[in-house]
Chains A and B, each alone.
Chain A
Amino acid sequence: NAGVMQNPRHLVRRRGQEARLRCSPMKGHSHVYWYRQLPEEGLKFMVYLQKENIIDESGMPKERFSAEFPKEGPSILRIQQVVRGDSAAYFCASSPSELSIQYFGAGTRLSVL
């Protein structure tokens, strides 16, 4: 049973470009969470999705950021018109149900030049 798969592991973008981060949850997991980690800091919650639904996006910036978890395929975190402040590690986690353990992927490290 493969773990949570995130790709790419590293992503370099220039200011103004778009970044797409993908997350495939563990088999049988229908709950997906995205977190952002700035250097030397803990993780900050961004968004919680179940299949085809956004349940809680209270941690998402109001502009440029969006997330989806379609019926088929991975969850996508999309950042439009990236700025240097978006440089961070973005982690995805999945769980089989609410209030159960969240299993994390290895993260995508986004660098904005």
Chain B
Amino acid sequence: SQQGEEDPQALSIQEGENATMNCSYKTSINNLQWYRQNSGRGLVHLILIRSNEREKHSGRLRVTLDTSKKSSSLLITASRAADTASYFCATAIIQGAQKLVFGQGTRLTINP
């Protein structure tokens, strides 16, 4: 069964607005990571949040983690056209933490 599921599947906003993407998962995790994938390209690691952390910032990115609800959110502030990409959450589960379990992603489009 799918571990991570992103919501929404697609999001289209105007440049300068904030974008929020959510991720839910099913089993206990060691950490949760967010990746970006530009069309036809590889994945770029954005941020890692551990299970004992609640919030983390990196530049215009803010990630929250609620282990009681088994959910995470990624906020991109002051969006830019270059942020257009697919965003995936990936969980490292406690057993077999070496492998990441990915959701199906949110396709984000930033309109100029």
- A residues sitting closer than 8 Å to B (CB atoms) are 4, 31, 33, 35, 40-45, 48, 55-56, 58-59, 91, 93, 98-99, 101-107, 109
CA distance A42 to B35 in the complex (A): 11
| Other A-B pairs, 20, CB within 8 Å; known A48-B98, A101-B45 | A33-B99, A35-B102, A40-B104, A41-B104, A43-B43, A43-B88, A45-B101, A48-B99, A55-B98, A56-B98, A58-B96, A58-B99, A102-B45, A102-B100, A103-B45, A104-B43, A104-B45, A105-B42, A107-B41, A107-B42
Chain A residues with CB under 8 A of B31: 99
Chain A residues with CB under 8 A of B92: 99
Whether A45 and B43, one on each chain, are in contact in the complex, defined by CB atoms closer than 8 angstroms, is no
Whether B45 and A45, one on each chain, are in contact in the complex, defined by CB atoms closer than 8 angstroms, is no
CA distance A64 to B33 in the complex (A): 31
> Which residue on chain A has the smallest CB distance to residue B107?
A40
- B residues sitting closer than 8 Å to A (CB atoms) are 4, 30-31, 33, 35, 40-45, 48, 88, 90, 92, 96-105
Shortest A108–chain B CB gap in Å is 10
CA distance A91 to B104 in the complex (A): 15
Given A101-B33, A104-B42, A106-B42, A42 and B98 contact (CB-CB distance below 8 Å): no
Given A91-B43, A104-B43, A107-B42, A45 and B99 contact (CB-CB distance below 8 Å): yes
CA distance A49 to B98 in the complex (A): 10
Whether B88 and A91, one on each chain, are in contact in the complex, defined by CB atoms closer than 8 angstroms, is no
Given A42-B104, A43-B88, A43-B102, A98 and B97 contact (CB-CB distance below 8 Å): yes
> Which residue on chain B has the smallest CB distance to residue A91?
B42
Most buried by A among B33, B42, B45, B96: B42
CA distance A109 to B41 in the complex (A): 10
CA distance A25 to B40 in the complex (A): 20
